[in-house]
Structures are given as structure tokens and as C-alpha cells.
Amino acid sequence: MQILRKITLKGVAGKIDFEKLLEAKDRRIDLMKVYGTARKAKPDQSDLGPYVRFSGSFRAMNIATGEMFESGVMLLPGIAQDLIMGALDSDGAEAVDFGFTISVKYNAESATKYEYDIQSLMSPSKDDPLERLAAQMGLVALPKPEAETETEAETETEAEKETETVAVSEKPVEPVKKHLKK
């Protein structure tokens, strides 16, 4: 296991290879798995924009090579850092356990032509406030829709075109387990 000064996406998985991304299945590449316990968060600014420097105990694995890394400092893409910050900012949170798979996927509308995708490696806890709310509202995860054929898409009625369906993800993102102050 290699000890790093800080765990970053670039330090663990390297620079995004755009050509590889375009050739990848579904134009998506899994880059790294990262997990640990965040105890402190320090927002900061660089030439590339704002970021959050987390302190704690962290490990990461390069999915392509299997190489493992460890550090007491970590920087993550915005969406992952927001999930951890939200948990650290909640009442009584002393530390936050988390685990993510971080992927990159092609997005033609993005300035970089890609965006990060974050999947939780942890199951939702029983005291997760979002899980309690979903249960109170009777929200149930819907199965992933089957791919439509052109014939099915062409027979869609005008009413179906105007109706929007909202579904809850099969695997809700539950990135954290909070350690409360005693």
C-alpha cells in the first residue's frame, strides 16, 4: 500500500483519458473506490475553483490496476465532497464514515465533455433521515426501465409524451455513518 500526502482522483487514478472514455462501454469508466472516516473539513480555493480538504483516515483503490493508497488528507470531486460535508455539518456529527465508487462518464453538454458519477458502497442505515421520509411517504424504488425499441418509441401517445415519471433510485445514495459527540 502506497502512502500519499493526500488522496485525490488524479493521484489515485491518473488524468482522465478522453479517448478511452469515448471507446468505453456506455462511455463510462470506473476510476476509484475510496472509503474512510472524515473528521474535519476545511473549505479552500485554488486556481481551479473551490474545494474541501478533508482530514481523517482514508484509503483508495485504483480500479484499473488494483493499487491501494492511504492518507490522512483527501480531496474529492464536488458531488462526493458535498455529501460528506452535509453529514459533517449535521447536528452532533463528530466524524463521518463513507465509501464511494467514483466513475467518469461522457457528457456532451459539459465544458470538459465528462462528468463524475458517485455510487455509495454503503447500505443505508436504519436511522437515515431520507430513508425515514421515503418510508413515511410510501416511496418504493422502481425497477430500472427496459430499453425501448424504435417501434415502441414511435407508438408513444401524446398523453404519454406530456407525462413525466419520477422514480426513486433502486440503490439510494447513503454515503455516511455519523459518529455523534457524546
Answer for the pair 34, 25: CB distance below 8 angstroms, yes or no.
no
Query: Which cell is 57 given?
Result: 483516515
Specify the pLDDT at position 148: 56
| Band of pLDDT at residue 109, cut at 50, 70 and 90 | confident
pTM of the model: 0.67
Tens digits of residue pLDDT in 63-106? 999 999 999 999 998 888 888 888 888 766 788 888 999 988 98
Place of cell 455516511: 176
Specify the pLDDT at position 75: 93
Lowest mean pLDDT among 33-37, 52-56, 175-179: 175-179
Place of cell 484509503: 59
Distances (CA, A) of 77 to 61, 125, 128, 142, 175: 16, 24, 23, 28, 14
Angle subtended at Cα 174 by Cα 176 and Cα 170, rounded to the nearest 5 degrees: 165
